[in-house]
């Protein structure tokens, strides 16, 4: 069982971010503080990962999310919580010098070398073209454009030198049996110019400019089979610097590009990035195909941060769904902060998690209630969902027993739904037969899929895997 309680600020309940807006500066700060409190309480060895969340139509960028991943066997993923920079408190003032020192040490730690390390720059030609399109009587630092994000982006870029380094990218791939590997990126342009935008550097890499590869030769990273059995995760060991092998990163930078028209197989198409933003070193993790590789990489990042005394913030791609890992996640919706708690095996366990969560939220000024202008008490307006299922899809009662899902939905829609049931409705039906007629109409809508599910249970199992992913994942 799991849940998604929502919270609002008890200190500033009238702010737009706690009523109508999704984004807000204080919301991110409070979410970061709450995530650290929950990690200390529920997952002392967990790792905080700042990633992308929901993306709705009309929004220029996906919303942020803060996830905490931890192992179900209790072993730590990240040991020293002070090596992950908090949003509150004193903030370090790290820049390009610390970023290049960190990624150099990390490359040596992984055993791939620094041969294929590249600095990333803003696209000079794009921003010069954009500047030429501005009116002659407008300063690029105060462009007065109607689009707020574009206006802030131009001011940020022109506020610093166009030739300044945004961050550093290291091509990085994990292969079974051989470990970590790096390789050259053959680009038409001499330097690594990022795509225009405000997202982290790792999301703006010019991947479309990499050498062409035939569809049959492309190595895609796919979610593993959720029904496949997996061995226990290996124990965590202090990460030691790996010996630098010729096959992993010391080949000459002048490796010839692939011939025109030939498929470029073996090109490393993912990269780890280190970018200083607002004085914080952000380490962008590339997509990885296995949880074991994610654990290795986070251990190497923590070891490098400890050796250099440089706390960092992890972002980028989280680990793929794996039953050997659990997580809780903080996301944002208009007017509320949503907490997707880790699954529990019993109702009492879910109640205990919710009680401790509410107490930690209260300590930092978050509440689960609002009051209208006339003083009437109301909820936050969020979802407050309860999710049901199993730790693995194979354990989910709704996949093992589709008839149980049929029974649950039928019971809810004919007995407990406020629209269908007079027992749960605050107002009596207008006519004695109104509810019966409406209930029969609703029942006819469910009758066809119910009958088909009993006749084609195996076919329904595959359908449920996609339609009830929430049940399966919790």
pLDDT in tens, 258-269: 777 777 777 888
**Does 356 map to a domain?**
no
Kindly indicate the confidence band of residue 316, based on its pLDDT and cuts at 50, 70 and 90.
very high
* Between 353 and 395, the higher pLDDT residue: 353
Q: Round to whole Å and give the CA distance between 298 and 69.
A: 11
Three-state secondary structure readout of 141-204: CECCCCCHHHHHHHHHHHHCCCCCEEEEEEECEEECCCEEECCCCCCCCCCEECCCCCCCHHHH
| Same-domain status, 322 and 400 | no
Per-residue confidence (pLDDT) for residue 432, from 0 to 100:
42
Q: Round to whole Å and give the CA distance between 270 and 250.
A: 18
Q: Give me the mean pLDDT over the 105-120 stretch.
A: 91
Asked if residue 435 has pLDDT above 80, the reply is no
Q: Round to whole Å and give the CA distance between 328 and 340.
A: 6
| Same-domain status, 325 and 192 | yes
Contact 315, 285 (CB under 8 A): yes
Per-residue confidence (pLDDT) for residue 427, from 0 to 100:
43
Asked if residue 407 has pLDDT above 50, the reply is yes
Give per-residue pLDDT as tens, 236-257: 766 665 555 544 444 444 567 7
Per-residue confidence (pLDDT) for residue 437, from 0 to 100:
46
Per-residue confidence (pLDDT) for residue 160, from 0 to 100:
64
408: CB partners within 8 A, 6+ apart = none
Dig out the tokens for 180 from the structure. Answer: 């970590």
Residue 465 Cα to chain centre, angstroms = 21
Q: Round to whole Å and give the CA distance between 285 and 238.
A: 19
Q: Give me the mean pLDDT over the 105-115 stretch.
A: 91
Q: Which of 288, 303, 336 is the C-terminal boundary of a domain?
A: 336
Q: What is the residue range of 36's domain? A: 2-135+162-336
**Does 368 map to a domain?**
no
DSSP structural state of residue 419 = T
Residue 428 Cα to chain centre, angstroms = 46
Contact 301, 314 (CB under 8 A): yes
| Same-domain status, 177 and 312 | yes
Asked if residue 325 has pLDDT above 50, the reply is yes
**Does 276 map to a domain?**
yes
Contact 347, 40 (CB under 8 A): no
Q: Which of 154-158, 334-338, 420-424 bottoms out in mean pLDDT, i.e. has the lowest?
A: 420-424
Contact 378, 18 (CB under 8 A): no
Q: What is the CA radius of gyration of the chain?
A: 26
Give per-residue pLDDT as tens, 48-92: 999 988 888 877 788 899 999 999 999 999 999 999 999 888 888
pTM for the full model? 0.79
Contact 323, 230 (CB under 8 A): yes
Contact 340, 31 (CB under 8 A): no
Kindly state the percentage of the chain with pLDDT values over 70: 74
Give per-residue pLDDT as tens, 132-168: 666 656 655 555 554 555 555 555 665 566 668 889 9
Per-residue confidence (pLDDT) for residue 329, from 0 to 100:
94
- Residue 372 phi/psi, 5-degree rounding, is -70, 175
Angle between the N-to-C axes of helices 96-110 and 291-308, in degrees from 0 to 180, rounded to the nearest 10 = 130
Cβ burial, residue 242 (10 Å; 0-12/13-18/19+): middle
Among 43, 40, 41, 26, residue whose Cα is nearest residue 88: 26
| Same-domain status, 305 and 449 | no
| Same-domain status, 456 and 310 | no
Asked if residue 35 has pLDDT above 80, the reply is yes
The number of folded domains in the chain is 2
Three-state secondary structure readout of 242-285: CCCCHHHHCCCCCCCCCCCCCCCCCCCCCEEEEEEECCEEEEEE
Q: Round to whole Å and give the CA distance between 54 and 32.
A: 17
Per-residue confidence (pLDDT) for residue 172, from 0 to 100:
92
Asked if residue 215 has pLDDT above 90, the reply is no
| Same-domain status, 332 and 410 | no
Q: Which of 218-227, 318-327, 430-439 bottoms out in mean pLDDT, i.e. has the lowest?
A: 430-439
Q: What is the total residue count of the chain?
A: 474
| Same-domain status, 18 and 125 | yes
**Does 372 map to a domain?**
no
In a 13 Å sphere around the CA of 386, the CA atoms on its Cβ side amount to 8
| Same-domain status, 173 and 267 | yes
**Does 343 map to a domain?**
no
Per-residue confidence (pLDDT) for residue 237, from 0 to 100:
66
Per-residue confidence (pLDDT) for residue 462, from 0 to 100:
46
**Does 365 map to a domain?**
no
* Between 138 and 287, the higher pLDDT residue: 287
Per-residue confidence (pLDDT) for residue 311, from 0 to 100:
94
Contact 264, 247 (CB under 8 A): no
* Between 364 and 150, the higher pLDDT residue: 364
Q: Which of 294, 313, 336 is the C-terminal boundary of a domain?
A: 336
* Between 377 and 49, the higher pLDDT residue: 49
| Same-domain status, 287 and 421 | no
Contact 103, 170 (CB under 8 A): yes
Per-residue confidence (pLDDT) for residue 107, from 0 to 100:
93
| Same-domain status, 404 and 304 | no
Mean pLDDT score across all residues of the chain: 78
Q: Round to whole Å and give the CA distance between 329 and 38.
A: 10
Per-residue confidence (pLDDT) for residue 422, from 0 to 100:
44
**Does 181 map to a domain?**
yes
| Same-domain status, 47 and 194 | yes
Top-confidence range, 29-43, 129-143, 264-278, 418-432: 29-43
**Does 12 map to a domain?**
yes
| Same-domain status, 421 and 311 | no
Q: Give me the mean pLDDT over the 379-392 stretch.
A: 73
Per-residue confidence (pLDDT) for residue 369, from 0 to 100:
82
Q: Round to whole Å and give the CA distance between 471 and 278.
A: 39
Per-residue confidence (pLDDT) for residue 202, from 0 to 100:
92
Q: Which of 296, 311, 336 is the C-terminal boundary of a domain?
A: 336
Among 108, 100, 113, residue whose Cα is nearest residue 239: 108
Contact 431, 412 (CB under 8 A): no
Among 426, 383, 166, 423, residue whose Cα is nearest residue 275: 166
Contact 200, 285 (CB under 8 A): no
Q: Give me the mean pLDDT over the 439-455 stretch.
A: 52
In a 13 Å sphere around the CA of 22, the CA atoms on its Cβ side amount to 17
Per-residue confidence (pLDDT) for residue 170, from 0 to 100:
94
* Between 258 and 94, the higher pLDDT residue: 94
Q: Round to whole Å and give the CA distance between 38 and 340.
A: 12
Contact 389, 471 (CB under 8 A): yes
* Between 163 and 340, the higher pLDDT residue: 340
């Amino acid at each position: 069982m799991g849940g998604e309680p929502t919270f609002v600020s008890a200190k500033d309940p009238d702010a737009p971010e706690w009523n109508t807006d999704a984004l807000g500066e204080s919301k991110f700060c409070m979410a970061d503080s709450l995530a650290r409190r929950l990690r200390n309480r529920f997952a002392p060895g967990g790792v905080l990962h700042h990633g992308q969340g929901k993306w709705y139509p009309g929004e220029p960028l996906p919303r942020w999310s803060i996830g905490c991943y931890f192992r179900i066997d209790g072993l730590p993923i990240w040991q020293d919580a002070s090596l992950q920079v908090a949003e509150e408190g004193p903030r370090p003032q790290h820049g390009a010098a610390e970023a290049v020192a960190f990624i150099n040490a990390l490359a040596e730690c992984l055993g791939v070398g620094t041969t294929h390390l590249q600095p990333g720059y803003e696209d000079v030609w794009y921003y010069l073209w954009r500047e030429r399109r501005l009116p002659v009587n407008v300063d690029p630092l105060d462009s007065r454009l109607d689009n707020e994000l574009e206006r802030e982006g131009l001011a940020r870029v022109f506020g610093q030198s166009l030739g300044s380094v945004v961050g550093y990218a290291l091509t990085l791939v994990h292969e079974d049996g051989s470990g970590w590997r790096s390789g050259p990126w053959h680009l038409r342009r001499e330097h690594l110019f990022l795509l225009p935008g405000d997202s982290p550097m790792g999301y703006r890499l010019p991947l479309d400019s990499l050498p062409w590869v035939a569809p049959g030769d492309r190595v895609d990273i796919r979610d593993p089979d959720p029904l496949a059995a997996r061995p226990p995760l290996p124990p965590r060991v202090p990460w030691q610097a790996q010996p630098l092998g010729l096959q992993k990163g010391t080949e000459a930078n002048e490796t010839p590009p692939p011939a025109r028209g030939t498929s470029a197989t073996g090109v490393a198409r993912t990269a780890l990035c280190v970018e200083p933003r607002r004085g914080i070193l952000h380490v962008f993790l590339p997509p990885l195909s296995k949880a074991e590789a994610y654990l290795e990489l986070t251990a190497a990042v923590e070891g490098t941060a400890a050796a250099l005394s440089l706390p960092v913030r992890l972002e980028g791609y989280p680990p793929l769904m794996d039953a050997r890992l659990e997580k809780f996640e903080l996301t944002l919706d208009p007017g509320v902060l949503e907490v997707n708690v880790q699954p529990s095996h019993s109702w009492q366990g879910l109640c205990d998690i919710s009680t401790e969560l509410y107490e930690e939220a209260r300590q930092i000024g978050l509440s689960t209630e609002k009051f209208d202008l006339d003083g009437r008490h109301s909820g936050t307006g969020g979802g407050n969902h309860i999710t049901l299922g199993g730790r693995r899809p194979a354990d989910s009662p709704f996949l093992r027993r589709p008839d149980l899902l049929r029974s649950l939905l039928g019971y809810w829609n004919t007995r407990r739904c406020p629209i269908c049931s007079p027992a749960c409705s605050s107002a009596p039906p207008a006519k004695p037969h109104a509810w019966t007629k409406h209930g029969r109409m609703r029942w006819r809508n469910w009758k066809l899929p119910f009958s088909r599910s009993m006749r084609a249970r195996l076919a329904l199992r595959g359908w449920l895997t996609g339609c009830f992913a929430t049940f399966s994942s919790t």
